[in-house]
Amino acid sequence: MANQVGLTSYGAYIPRLRLSRKAAAEANAWFNPGLMGLGKGERAMANWDEDSVTMASEAARDCLKGIEPSSVDHLSFASTTMPFTDRQNAGILAMALELSEDLASSDVTSSMRAGTSALLSGLNAIASGAATSALVAAADKRKARAASTHELHFGDAGAAVLLGTDNVIAAFLGSHSVSVDFIDHFRGEGEEFDYNWEERWIRDEGYANIVPRAVNAALEIAGVKGEEITHFILPGTLRGVQQKAAAKCGINAEAICDHLAANVGDTGTGHALLMLAHTLETAKPGEKILVASFGQGCDALVFEATDAIADFTSRAGVSGCLANRKAETNYMKFLGFNGLIELEKGMRGEKDNKTALTANYRKRDMLYSLVGGKCTKCGTAQFPRSRICVGPNCGEVDSQEPYSFADKPASILSWSADFLTYSMDPPQHYGMVTFEGGGRFLADFTDVDPGTVDSGMEVRMVFRIKDFDEKRGFRRYFWKAIPIVT
């Protein structure tokens, strides 16, 4: 329907590593025996080279499958674990996705409902005509102290939605927000971990009072009754909060969506969008979806699935990510990947990772978008782009146009597994990657199962952390290859 504002696509990313809660609880049982009661299921665990930006980029790539990135003219990135305090993180994300530089972009942070706040901002931009295609991405990689309940409750993931007026799969019907400085937890400046208050008070005074207030107002604005809601999305790991909120709003208990606590965990700012993406995978035309997010108040948004959702090209989405998992029982690896223990790097790990910011800017399309070149005379593709074509029978000067390799099918030509090179996850795997249609370069591998890599294997390129400049607090990003094990 023309001029109908709503969701036009969605995507999700959950890291393949899943930490066994039982393994974590057993490792800390000597200190906190009560954790054994929470030692069921698993939580999503990011690799050492993943953060909120890289997870958001994977979710957004899933969301933008088959969609021209340059069509996006509005970007919001929500997270409470931004890698940079004073550098726009959405700008890094935009480069990784090859979005146009003629783009309105913003970081949204400081609350667990930042994801839905960013979603509302995007919807308002579309409705006002300020944007025609708005991408909203959210992700968190939150730290928790060892032997804490939050270490078991948290999870790492990202989600993204695309908004517009063409080919809308879920129409936006209305919303309401409540802003209350209700402090269930906080993280002060310079602190690594959240400080949390008493759970019963959060449940009875926070969720039970604030969420129904926002939800009932949103239902009234949307002209929808509680019993008409087919899918009720409310993140939260406190027992019974979804059921109590639904009962106070006249929403049937059967409408309460799986909050993914058993096998993913609470993923922070992106969790409402992650649950929304999961719901859209099975939503049918006419079904009404209510998304609520709690954090210093509450955002509540109402959507209705349209006929277009029946023909929507499926994404990997949450279901695909849940299927692509690797069990992790090494609790020490989890601590190491999250910087909760100091590992001996050895002399090979001692180097100055100072980044030349001028070169970083000049080569930004190569470093952040994996853009090389393709000769307009002979058609040879190469990475990196250079003034002289590498075609054996060409050698033309200044003949190359930008050519993106990020989504090109690729395979391993040769490889090595190196135990001498310092790596957070030894051995360090790397090798020569060749792309379909031409082009090759030496790439680091990530998410590798040792012993499974071989020449000829297909790989998928992903945007990850290259290394850290711990002296200056800078992290460098680049593209790595993930071997696809069949």
Residue 225 pLDDT > 70, yes or no?
yes
Give the architecture-level CATH label for domain 6-337. 3-Layer(aba) Sandwich (3.40)
CATH class for the domain made up of 348-370+405-483:
mainly beta
Ranges of H-type helices in 45-142: 52-63, 89-96, 114-128
Specify whether the CB–CB gap between 143 and 192 falls below 8 A: yes
Main-chain dihedrals φ then ψ at residue 211, nearest 5 degrees: -65, -50
Tens digit of each residue's pLDDT (9 = 90 or more) over 196-212: 999 999 999 999 999 99
Residue 267 pLDDT > 70, yes or no?
yes
Q: What is the per-residue DSSP string for 320-368?
A: HHHHS-EEE--HHHHHHHTTSS-----GGG-------HHHHHHTHHHHH
Tens digit of each residue's pLDDT (9 = 90 or more) over 423-470: 999 999 999 999 999 999 999 999 999 999 999 999 999 999 999 998
Q: What are 20's two structure tokens? A: 């066994």
- Closest among 439, 377, 374, 378 to 408, alpha carbons compared: 439
- Closest among 61, 72, 48, 180 to 464, alpha carbons compared: 48
Query: Quick one: pLDDT at residue 1?
Result: 43
CA–CA distance, 144 with 159 (Å, rounded to integer): 21
Task: Report, as an integer, the average pLDDT of 268-295.
Answer: 98
Query: What pTM value is reported for the model?
Result: 0.96
Task: Report, as an integer, the average pLDDT of 153-162.
Answer: 98
Burial class (CB in 10 A: 0-12, 13-18, 19+), 195: exposed
Domain boundaries, the chain: 6-337, 348-370+405-483
Tens digit of each residue's pLDDT (9 = 90 or more) over 300-334: 999 999 999 999 988 999 999 999 999 999 999 99
Query: Quick one: pLDDT at residue 430?
Result: 97
Residue 227 pLDDT > 70, yes or no?
yes
If residue 208 lies in a helix (H) or strand (E), which one and from where to where?
Answer: helix 208-222
CA–CA distance, 87 with 235 (Å, rounded to integer): 29
The secondary structure of the chain in percent helix, strand, coil, rounded to multiples of 5, reads 30, 30, 40
Specify whether the CB–CB gap between 445 and 481 falls below 8 A: yes
Residue 2 pLDDT > 80, yes or no?
no
